[in-house]
C-alpha cells in the first residue's frame, strides 16, 4: 500500500521544485541488477550533467548476479567489480531497501525525476495451471535458487531433501540445469563457494540420488546452452540416462539444427552422452535422467503424506509445425514418482500501479526502451520520461551481457529524447531527485541502505566466509542484513 505523503513532505518538495538554481538531469533507475547498473553506467557516461540514483528493494545490490547466478559460477560474479566502480562515481547513489510500489509509487518517482528507468527484472514465475500445482514439495526454480543463494525472501523455504531419493525438474533451460547440478554435484565441491550455509547443510544431508530433467520437446529443442550442458554431463561419478528413441531426428529437426549452431551442439552433446552410457547405475551412484517429449498433465498427491506431492503425471507429446516446432499431447500418459518437484519453465515480471503492462508477454510494452502509453488522453505515443531496461523490457531471457546491449539501446532512446527537448532542457523545471526521495522515505520511516552500508554487509560476509574457507558467508535474513547495514 502506498503511504500518503504528509504535509511536511509536500511543503519540502514544493521548496525543492522552486529553489534549485542549477539543473542537473535527475535520473532514477529502479533495480540494481545488470540492466540497472549498465543503464546507470551508460547514462553517467553519455550525460555529464546527469545524477543517477538506483533504488532497489533489497539492502544488497546486483540483482540476479548475487541471487541467481549459481554459487559454483564465481567467474560470472566478477562483473560486480565493474558495477561497484559505477557506484563510486560522485554523480551516483545507491538507495537500497526501497520498494517501488510500496515505499514509493511510480507517479511519485516520475514527479521527483526527469527520467525514470524501470529495470526491476522478473520476480515471479510462469505456472502450468494444472491440478495439484500447490501441493507441498513443489517449488519454483526461482524460489529454490533464491534459497541456495541466500535471498532473504526465501531463507525459510526449507525444501525437504531428506524424505525422497527422486527429484523432478520441469523445463530444460539453463536454470533447470543449474538446479539439477546443485542437487547432484558432490557437496564437497560446493563447500568452498558462496552458497548459503543453510542450503549447504541441507545438501549435505540430502537423500536425493536421482534427478529427472523433463522437457516437453526433443533434444534438438532443449533450451540450455552447450557450456552449461557440458558442465552437468561432466559431474564426477554421475550415471546419465537418455532413451535412444528420443534421439531420433526428423527432417524438421535437421532444419532447426542447420540454422542454429547451439541447437546442433546441444544435440551432439546429448547423443554423445547417450552413446557412452553404461548398462546401469552402480549402487549409490547419483543419476541424471533426461526425459524428452513429455509435458506435465497433473501433480499426484501422496497417499501417505496428505497434501504432499508423490509424482507427476506426464503426457507424451509429438512435435508439430515447421520452424519453431510445438509440442502437442498424444493422449498417452505415464506417471513419474518423486518427492520433490522444481518447476523451471521461466520467470515472469510483475506490474506496479500506473505502469502499462502486457500481461500476455509479461513485459512493459516498449519501443527500444520507451514505454508505450496506454492512456487514451496522452497526446504522445510514449509515457514521457519513462523507460525500461533488462528482463522487464525484453522478457526473462538472456545472459548478463545481453543486458549491456539492452541498456545501451534504452540510453540511446533517452539521449535522443533529450536532444529533441522532450524530457529535459536548460530551462526545464528543476526536479528534487534524491533529496526529495529521501525526504519522502524518511517521512514514511523507510530506512534506506546506501552503498556504504552495503559495503558493511559485504565486508561482514567476506569476514564470516574467511572463517570457513568460503569467499563469503551470505547474511540470509532481513534482520541480519539490516542490522549490519545500520551498524
Ligand atoms: C537462476 C539464474 C541463473 C543465471 N545464471 C547466469 C549465468 O551464470 N551467467 C549469465 O551470464 N547470466 C545468468 N543469468 C541471467 C542473468 O542473471 C540475467 O540476464 C540478468 O540478471 C537480468 O538482469 P535484470 O537487471 O533485468 O534483472 P535482475 O538481475 O533480476 O535485477 C532486478 C533487480 O530489481 C530489484 N527489484 C525487483 N522488484 C523491485 C521493486 N519493486 N522495487 C525496487 N527494486 C526491485 C531486485 O531486487 C533486483 O536487484 C541467470 C539467471 C537466472 C534466473
Ligand atoms: N550459465 C548461464 O549462462 C545461465 C544460467 C541460468 C540462466 N541463464 C539464462 O537465463 C535465462 C532464463 O533461463 P530459464 O531456464 O529460466 O528459461 P528458458 O531458457 O526460457 O527455458 C525455459 C524452459 O521451460 C520450458 N517451458 C516453458 N513453458 C513450459 C510449459 N508450459 N510446459 C513445459 N515446459 C515449458 C521451455 O521449453 P520450450 O522450449 O518447449 O518452451 C524451456 O525448456 C535464459 O536466457 C538462460 O540462458 C543463463
- Secondary structure element (H or E) that encloses residue 148, with its range: helix 141-148
For helices 478-485 and 451-467, the axis angle rounded to 10 degrees is 110
Evaluate whether residue 381 is within a structural domain. Answer: yes
- E-state strands within 252-369: 286-291, 294-301, 309-320, 326-337, 340-343, 347-348, 366-367
Query: According to the model, what pLDDT value does residue 362 have?
Result: 94
Tell me the CA–centroid distance for residue 173 and ligand 2, in Å.
4
Question: What is the CATH classification number for the domain harbouring 417?
Answer: 3.40.50.720
The answer on 84 and 199 residing in a single domain is no
Q: Which of 314, 347, 380 is the last residue of a domain?
A: 347
Alpha carbon nearest to ligand 2 atom 2, residue: 174
The answer on 186 and 170 residing in a single domain is yes
Evaluate whether residue 430 is within a structural domain. Answer: yes
Half-sphere exposure of 323 (CA within 13 A, CB side): 0
329 ligand 2 Cβ < 6 A: no
Q: Counting Cβ atoms within 10 Å, is residue 420 exposed (0-12), middle (13-18) or buried (19+)?
A: exposed
Tell me the CA–centroid distance for residue 469 and ligand 2, in Å.
33
Helices (H), 261-401: 261-275, 391-394
The answer on 308 and 163 residing in a single domain is yes
Evaluate whether residue 465 is within a structural domain. Answer: no
217 ligand 2 Cβ < 6 A: yes
206 neighbors 200 (Cβ within 8 angstroms): no
Q: Which atom of ligand 1 is nearest to the CA of 102?
A: 41
308 neighbors 232 (Cβ within 8 angstroms): no
Backbone angles phi, psi at 41, to 5 degrees: -60, -45
Q: To test ligand 1's pocket by mutation, which of 34, 121, 355 has the most ligand atoms within 8 angstroms of CB? A: 121
The answer on 183 and 276 residing in a single domain is yes
The answer on 231 and 161 residing in a single domain is yes
Ramachandran class of 320: left when φ > 0, alpha when ψ lies in -120 to 50, beta otherwise? beta
CA 421/CA 437 separation, integer angstroms:
25
Q: How far is CA 209 from the centre of its chain?
A: 27
Helices (H), 243-343: 251-259, 261-275
With cut-offs at 50, 70 and 90, classify the pLDDT of residue 285.
very high
Alpha carbon nearest to ligand 1 atom 27, residue: 121
Question: What is the CATH classification number for the domain harbouring 157?
Answer: 3.50.50.60
Q: How far is CA 177 from the centre of its chain?
A: 15
* Nearest residue to 389 (alpha-carbon basis) of 35, 19, 17: 35
Evaluate whether residue 34 is within a structural domain. Answer: yes
With cut-offs at 50, 70 and 90, classify the pLDDT of residue 174.
very high
The answer on 257 and 191 residing in a single domain is yes
Q: Which of 312, 347, 382 is the last residue of a domain?
A: 347
DSSP, residue by residue, 423-446: S--TTSPP--HHHHHHHHHHHTT-
CA 1/CA 255 separation, integer angstroms:
52
Which pLDDT tens digit goes with each residue over 15-60?
A: 544 444 458 999 999 999 999 999 999 999 999 999 999 999 999 9
The answer on 76 and 103 residing in a single domain is yes
The answer on 388 and 247 residing in a single domain is no
Question: Which ligand lies nearest to the CA atom of residue 230 in the structure?
Answer: 2
Evaluate whether residue 424 is within a structural domain. Answer: yes
362 ligand 2 Cβ < 6 A: no
The pTM assigned to this predicted structure is 0.95
Query: According to the model, what pLDDT value does residue 4 have?
Result: 41
Backbone angles phi, psi at 58, to 5 degrees: -95, 160
* pLDDT exceeds 60 at position 306: yes
Beta bridge partners of 143: none
150 neighbors 474 (Cβ within 8 angstroms): yes
The answer on 427 and 395 residing in a single domain is yes
Sign of CA dihedral 434, 440, 443, 446: negative
Alpha carbon nearest to ligand 2 atom 5, residue: 174
- Ligand 1 site, CB within 6 A: 30-36, 55-58, 63-64, 68-69, 73, 76, 99-101, 119-121, 123, 145, 175, 178, 390-391, 398-400, 402-403
Which pLDDT tens digit goes with each residue over 327-340?
A: 999 999 999 999 99
The answer on 407 and 388 residing in a single domain is yes
Backbone angles phi, psi at 429, to 5 degrees: -60, 130
* pLDDT exceeds 60 at position 11: no
295 ligand 2 Cβ < 6 A: yes
Evaluate whether residue 187 is within a structural domain. Answer: yes
410 ligand 2 Cβ < 6 A: no
CA of 365: how far to CAs of 30, 348, 374, 387, 474, in Å? 17, 14, 9, 10, 36
Q: Largest alpha-carbon pair distance within the chain?
A: 79
The answer on 51 and 20 residing in a single domain is yes
Residue the block writes with cell 492512456 = 375
Q: Which atom of ligand 1 is nearest to the CA of 391?
A: 26
Evaluate whether residue 156 is within a structural domain. Answer: yes
Evaluate whether residue 462 is within a structural domain. Answer: no
Which pLDDT tens digit goes with each residue over 393-446?
A: 999 999 999 999 999 999 999 999 999 988 887 677 789 999 999 999 999 999
CA of 250: how far to CAs of 205, 219, 261, 316, in Å? 44, 12, 17, 17
Q: Which of 347, 365, 386 is the last residue of a domain?
A: 347
Query: According to the model, what pLDDT value does residue 3 have?
Result: 37
71 ligand 2 Cβ < 6 A: no
Q: How far is CA 230 from the centre of its chain?
A: 23
Q: To test ligand 2's pocket by mutation, which of 127, 223, 295, 319 has the most ligand atoms within 8 angstroms of CB? A: 223
Question: Which ligand lies nearest to the CA atom of residue 394 in the structure?
Answer: 1
103 neighbors 446 (Cβ within 8 angstroms): yes
The answer on 87 and 208 residing in a single domain is no
CA of 132: how far to CAs of 156, 213, 300, 341, in Å? 22, 19, 7, 11
Range of the structural domain that residue 434 is part of: 7-123+349-447
Domain count for the chain, please give it: 2
Q: Residues comprising the binding site?
A: 35, 64, 100, 172-175, 216-217, 228, 391, 398
* pLDDT exceeds 80 at position 103: yes
Alpha carbon nearest to ligand 2 atom 34, residue: 171
Residue the block writes with cell 509424482 = 311
* pLDDT exceeds 80 at position 14: no
Question: Which ligand lies nearest to the CA atom of residue 169 in the structure?
Answer: 2
Beta bridge partners of 388: 118
Amino acid at each position: 500500500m502506498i503511504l500518503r505523503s504528509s504535509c511536511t513532505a509536500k511543503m519540502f518538495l514544493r521548496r525543492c521544485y522552486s529553489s534549485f538554481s542549477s539543473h542537473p538531469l535527475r535520473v532514477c533507475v529502479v533495480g540494481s541488477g545488470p540492466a540497472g547498473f549498465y543503464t546507470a553506467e551508460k547514462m553517467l557516461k553519455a550525460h555529464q550533467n546527469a545524477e543517477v540514483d538506483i533504488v532497489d528493494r533489497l539492502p544488497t545490490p546486483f540483482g540476479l548476479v548475487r541471487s541467481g547466478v549459481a554459487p559454483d559460477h564465481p567467474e560470472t560474479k566478477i562483473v560486480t567489480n565493474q558495477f561497484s566502480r559505477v557506484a563510486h562515481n560522485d554523480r551516483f547513489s545507491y538507495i537500497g531497501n526501497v520498494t517501488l510500489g510500496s515505499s514509493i509509487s511510480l507517479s511519485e518517482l516520475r514527479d521527483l525525476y526527469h527520467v525514470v528507468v524501470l529495470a526491476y527484472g522478473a520476480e515471479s514465475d510462469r505456472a502450468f495451471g494444472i491440478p495439484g500445482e500447490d501441493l507441498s514439495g513443489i517449488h519454483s526454480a526461482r524460489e529454490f535458487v533464491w534459497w541456495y543463494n541466500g535471498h532473504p525472501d526465501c531463507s525459510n523455504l526449507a525444501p525437504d531433501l531428506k524424505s525422497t531419493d527422486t527429484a523432478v525438474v520441469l523445463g530444460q533451460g539453463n536454470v533447470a540445469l543449474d538446479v539439477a547440478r546443485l542437487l547432484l554435484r558432490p557437496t564437497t565441491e560446493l563447500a568452498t563457494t558462496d552458497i548459503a550455509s543453510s542450503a549447504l547443510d541441507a545438501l549435505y544431508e540430502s537423500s536425493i540420488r536421482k534427478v529427472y530433467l523433463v522437457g516437453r520437446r526433443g533434444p534438438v529443442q532443449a533450451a540450455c546452452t552447450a557450456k552449461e550442458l557440458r558442465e552437468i554431463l561432466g559431474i564426477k561419478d554421475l550415471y546419465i540416462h537418455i532413451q535412444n528413441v528420443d534421439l531420433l531426428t526428423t527432417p524438421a529437426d535437421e532444419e532447426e539444427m542447420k540454422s542454429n549452431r547451439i541447437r546442433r551442439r546441444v544435440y551432439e552433446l546429448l547423443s554423445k552422452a547417450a552413446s557412452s552410457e553404461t548398462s546401469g547405475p552402480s549402487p549409490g551412484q547419483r543419476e541424471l535422467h533426461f526425459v524428452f517429449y513429455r509435458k506435465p498433465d497433473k501433480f499426484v498427491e501422496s497417499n501417505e503424506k496428505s497434501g504432499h506431492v508423490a509424482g507427476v503425471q506426464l503426457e507424451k507429446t509429438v512435435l508439430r509445425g515447421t520452424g519453431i516446432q510445438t509440442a502437442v499431447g498424444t493422449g498417452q500418459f505415464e506417471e513419474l514418482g518423486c518427492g520433490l518437484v522444481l518447476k523451471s519453465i521461466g520467470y515472469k515480471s510483475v506490474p506496479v500501479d500506473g505502469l502499462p503492462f502486457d500481461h500476455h508477454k509479461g513485459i512493459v510494452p516498449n519501443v527500444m526502451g520507451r514505454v508505450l502509453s496506454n492512456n487514451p488522453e496522452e497526446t504522445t505515443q510514449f509515457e514521457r520520461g519513462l523507460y525500461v531496461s533488462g528482463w522487464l523490457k525484453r522478457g526473462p531471457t538472456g545472459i548478463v551481457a545481453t543486458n549491456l546491449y539492452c541498456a545501451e539501446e534504452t540510453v540511446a532512446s533517452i539521449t535522443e529524447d533529450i536532444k529533441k527537448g522532450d524530457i529535459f532542457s536548460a530551462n526545464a523545471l528543476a526536479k528534487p531527485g534524491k533529496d526529495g526521495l529521501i525526504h519522502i522515505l524518511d517521512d514514511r520511516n523507510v530506512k534506506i541502505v546506501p552503498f556504504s552500508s552495503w559495503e558493511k554487509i559485504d565486508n561482514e560476509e567476506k569476514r564470516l566466509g574467511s572463517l570457513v574457507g568460503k569467499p563469503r558467508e551470505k547474511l540470509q535474513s532481513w534482520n541480519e542484513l539490516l542490522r549490519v547495514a545500520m551498524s
